[in-house]
Structure 1
Amino acid sequence: MDRNTFTGFFLILVILFGATYFMKPSEEELKRERIVQDSIKQAQSGKLTKSKPAPAAATAPTAVDSNLLKGPFGRARVGNAQVVVLENEDLKVNINTKGGRVESVELKKFKTYDQKPLILFTAEESSFNLALKANGSNINTKDLFFSPSAPGLKVSQKDSAAVTFTANYGPNQSLQYVYTLKGEGFKLGFNIVTKGLENIMTAAPTIHWDALLRQKEKDIKSEHRYSGAYYQQGDEPVEHIGTTEDEKKDIGEDGKIQWVSFKQHFFSNVLISKEGFDKANLAVSTSAEPGVVKGFSASLTLPAKMNSYAMEFYFGPNRYNTLKAQGNNLEGIIDLGWGPLKWVNRFAVLPIFNALEKFNWGYGLIILVLTLILKLVLSPLTYKSYLSMAKMRVLKPEMDEIKAKVGEDNPTLLQQEYLKLYKKAGVNPLGGCIPMLLQMPIVMAFFFFFPNLFELRGEKFLWMTDLSTYDSFVNFGFEIPFMGDHLSLMCILMTISTLIYTYFNNQTSGATGQMKYIGYITPIIFLGVLNSYPAGLNYYYFLANMLTFGQQFLIRQFVNDEKIHAQIQENKKKPEGEKKQSSFQRRMEEYMRQQQSKQNKK
């Protein structure tokens, strides 16, 4: 990279950052735009957008036409809304007799970031309705009052309990919701039984499920980033919508939908169907209301002409091992990266992490040992990279002589002469880059691993009170472009360690000119990028830098520049036929010959 290229590259960065800062809309404009978008969505779809509509619980019976009482579900159209509680070691589930729906769920062993009870969703901010069409009549279960078989149950660890909610359609005809809860675990059994109704239903029943999910973690921006609607269709990989923008999707042409999930960063609400849903319409929207992460909506079409629909709810944490134990490939909810990064995390990093977790160490120590193991495994690549850079450093005086003879006016001839020198010396110019590139998938894999690692949630280490989010060393009280409203101490330490590593790396490689300073730009950019990422991730990068620096220090004790120089001189004396030449060097030589030939003709 020559001076002009570097100057242009730097100016492009200045323009991009400047344009982003000066042209971005104000917070007031953004809020106004979100309110307008929410109003449009509410007008178009009529879906749940308000966070606190008037509660429907404990309502008095409403006046109903006497003729209506004699019709389908007549007696179920009048009643008092009551709440039935199902509770085990992990869950507290509130079920409302009006609609027979799960109106709220509390995870008893977890708290929000501000130590409040962790409620996945509330009665006021959720809805669940089964739409039926029987004998030409449209029936919505949200308008019916169900009769429970028990007033409420608290299930012991070894037991399981079931409560049946019944709405009578007519003589010997009824609709039942059967909820089953075991003594422990995060699953709630949910069966829909249509006694005597399957033959009079003129259309497939459809479930309409909506929820507005509130902030549960310290950084709501991070929750926005990792929240969305996930689903699995047939044997296809798990897919998702709505993580980066408001989105809608119709699903159903390529096989049964096995399950649908309203996923937040660390917790999920999943509805699993054993028979599968025929169709699904999903929608995710971002609300302008403070403290609200996203709004979710799902319309799920059940198979027609059946008298029983076996389903399950999963209300629980997005912990990889917990989700995997549920079956149905629910662990696909967790984003472990794309392509090879996903396989690195799933088959290398995660098993090592699980093995270390069995020692019951603190997670700060586990991350340290995990980094040590990975650095040990990658040490042969680190050694080869350092050795190649050392060879290039030893060759630099000879390269400077060639540059002085040829001059900078003919870059093609200069590169051709360099290649001749590399060939004589038996040095591969890419020898230092290739080992570093091979390590990149692991470095990038951790960029997905730590932000999605549930185990770090609420875990303390040193001054960091929660390894799953940023550590606020300084709070500005206002937003700074590319930095946010705070400064993370661990991110600062990571940046400093990267700058130190870059300095010593330049000493090893002998980098000069603009190339010498490019390495210092990246850490400064990543200071802004990683400032709001989990402290656990920055802690890992800090350890990786320090351990790499330590590795290079040890390697320098065993790698002698004089011996390398002597070896290079020996290589130069070898006949041309005995020297090994990489395919890259052969292609480069051929390319340089062609370029020189074109230049000579000109």
Structure 2
Amino acid sequence: MRKKLPLIITLILLVGLLTGCTSYNEPINSNSTGIWNEWFVWPLSQFITYIANIFGGSYGMAIIICTIIVRLVLLPLMIKQTKSSGNMQLIQPEIKKLREKYSSKDQETQKKLQQETMKLFQEHNVNPVAGCLPLLIQMPILIAFYHAINRTPEIKEHTFLWFQMGAHDPYYILPVIAAVTTFISQKIMMGSMGNSNPQMAMMTYIMPIMILVLAINFPAALALYWVIGNIFMIFQTYFVIAPMRKKYNNQTQTGGTKK
């Protein structure tokens, strides 16, 4: 988690930077050029509009449905990430033995250590970068959602429940819910890992604050996207990820290994 913290902060700052670029604030349409517009923003705008038409023109319902679809698409990746991190947990004793065996700091020994470590990863289906993949995939989607909402007049001007989709929540209800559900999601995630890692404990409180600040300043539809995503994540962690991690924790305690 210590390695993820700078990445998370960097990506959140990147969201703020890209969403403020004036060159990307023009209305999106079929004539918009550029890879970002043609492959991300315009297709997402069209998809949201298509779903909205199914639900009687409700763009709020469209955002909810699209968010669930995105989460369902990412679910296999989350499961794969959990399996990879679980297998990493199981082979820690073997990694420790390798480091003790190749403890010399000369270049040849360190090269041998890397080769043996990678071989161990392959044998146990461990991907060292798997933990960051869901986050790296979600950030472009989040930015694309922002642009699709802000640059599609029909979405931006639509009113859903008590808020206008393209404006800030006037009562700050969604930002607060987004922060609270982020906190709950982080707590459940930390509990499922069965440890008291100080970096994770810190992120449990830092992330909700970051999301609160972003949700206050971003369109209400984006806060809605985050809230629905968090609720999905809570159920996903509780019913899918947590049982998997519990199994790996039990195997670790009993000294078991899994390929």
**Shorter-chain TM-score: which interval?**
0.5 to 0.7
Q: Deviations over 1:170-229 (max 9, x none)?
A: xxxxxxxxxxxxxxxxxxxxxxxxxxxxxxxxxxxxxxxxxxxxxxxxxxxxxxx68x7x
Where does residue 75 of structure 2 map in the other structure? Answer: 379
- Check whether the contact 1:382–1:436 (CA below 8 A) recurs between aligned residues: no
Where does residue 158 of structure 2 map in the other structure? Answer: 459
Corresponding letter in the other structure for 1:454: P
- Check whether the contact 2:157–2:165 (CA below 8 A) recurs between aligned residues: yes
- Check whether the contact 1:456–1:466 (CA below 8 A) recurs between aligned residues: no
Where does residue 505 of structure 1 map in the other structure? Answer: 189
* CA drift at 1:383: 1.5
Instruction: Name the CA shift for 1:424/1:526 in 2 (closer, same or farther; >3 Å).
Output: same
Instruction: Name the CA shift for 1:545/1:379 in 2 (closer, same or farther; >3 Å).
Output: same
- Check whether the contact 2:178–2:226 (CA below 8 A) recurs between aligned residues: yes
Instruction: Name the CA shift for 1:451/1:519 in 2 (closer, same or farther; >3 Å).
Output: farther
The one of 60, 65, 69 equivalent to 1:369 is 65
Percent of residue pairs bearing the same amino acid type: 21
Corresponding letter in the other structure for 1:356: I
Q: Deviations over 1:422-454 (max 9, x none)?
A: 744622322222344234322332232222232
Instruction: Name the CA shift for 1:451/1:549 in 2 (closer, same or farther; >3 Å).
Output: same
What pairs up with 1:172-183 in 2 under 5 angstroms? none
Where does residue 223 of structure 2 map in the other structure? Answer: 538
Where does residue 257 of structure 2 map in the other structure? Answer: 569
Where does residue 429 of structure 1 map in the other structure? Answer: 128
- Check whether the contact 1:341–1:441 (CA below 8 A) recurs between aligned residues: no
* Count of equivalent residues: 231
CA distance in 1, matches of 2:238, 2:148: 29
Where does residue 17 of structure 2 map in the other structure? Answer: none
Instruction: Name the CA shift for 1:512/1:401 in 2 (closer, same or farther; >3 Å).
Output: farther
Aligned: 1:493 with 2:185: no
**What are structure 2's unaligned runs of at least 5 residues?**
7-19
Where does residue 46 of structure 2 map in the other structure? Answer: 351
The one of 440, 448, 451 equivalent to 2:139 is 440
- Check whether the contact 1:341–1:442 (CA below 8 A) recurs between aligned residues: no
Instruction: Name the CA shift for 1:442/1:505 in 2 (closer, same or farther; >3 Å).
Output: same
Which is richer in helix?
2
CA distance in 2, matches of 1:459, 1:470: 13
TM-score (norm 2): 0.67
Q: Secondary structure at the match of 2:151?
A: coil
Instruction: Name the CA shift for 1:543/1:345 in 2 (closer, same or farther; >3 Å).
Output: same
Where does residue 16 of structure 2 map in the other structure? Answer: none
CA distance in 2, matches of 1:567, 1:453: 55
* CA drift at 1:340: 4.7
Q: Secondary structure at the match of 1:491?
A: helix
Q: Secondary structure at the match of 2:129?
A: coil
- Check whether the contact 1:385–1:432 (CA below 8 A) recurs between aligned residues: yes
Q: Deviations over 1:382-427 (max 9, x none)?
A: 211222233344456x48977xx89xxx9x999x979856744622
Q: Deviations over 1:523-553 (max 9, x none)?
A: 4234223312111110101111211222232
CA distance in 1, matches of 2:129, 2:242: 23
Which is richer in strand?
1
TM-score (norm 1): 0.32
Instruction: Name the CA shift for 1:500/1:511 in 2 (closer, same or farther; >3 Å).
Output: same
Where does residue 15 of structure 2 map in the other structure? Answer: none
Where does residue 554 of structure 1 map in the other structure? Answer: 239
CA distance in 2, matches of 1:508, 1:430: 20
What pairs up with 1:124-139 in 2 under 5 angstroms? none
- Check whether the contact 2:186–2:204 (CA below 8 A) recurs between aligned residues: yes
- Check whether the contact 1:390–1:561 (CA below 8 A) recurs between aligned residues: yes
Corresponding letter in the other structure for 1:468: G
**What are structure 1's unaligned runs of at least 5 residues?**
10-224, 229-239, 244-262, 264-317, 333-337, 474-487, 572-602
CA distance in 1, matches of 2:188, 2:89: 13
CA distance in 1, matches of 2:199, 2:243: 30
* CA drift at 1:373: 1.6
Corresponding letter in the other structure for 1:391: N
Instruction: Name the CA shift for 1:527/1:382 in 2 (closer, same or farther; >3 Å).
Output: same
Q: Secondary structure at the match of 2:147?
A: helix
Q: Secondary structure at the match of 2:160?
A: coil
Corresponding letter in the other structure for 1:500: I
Corresponding letter in the other structure for 1:443: L
CA distance in 1, matches of 2:166, 2:86: 39
Structure of higher RCO (CA pairs closer than 8 Å, 6+ residues apart): 2
Instruction: Name the CA shift for 1:354/1:542 in 2 (closer, same or farther; >3 Å).
Output: same
CA distance in 1, matches of 2:40, 2:48: 12
- Check whether the contact 2:165–2:221 (CA below 8 A) recurs between aligned residues: yes
Q: Secondary structure at the match of 2:163?
A: coil
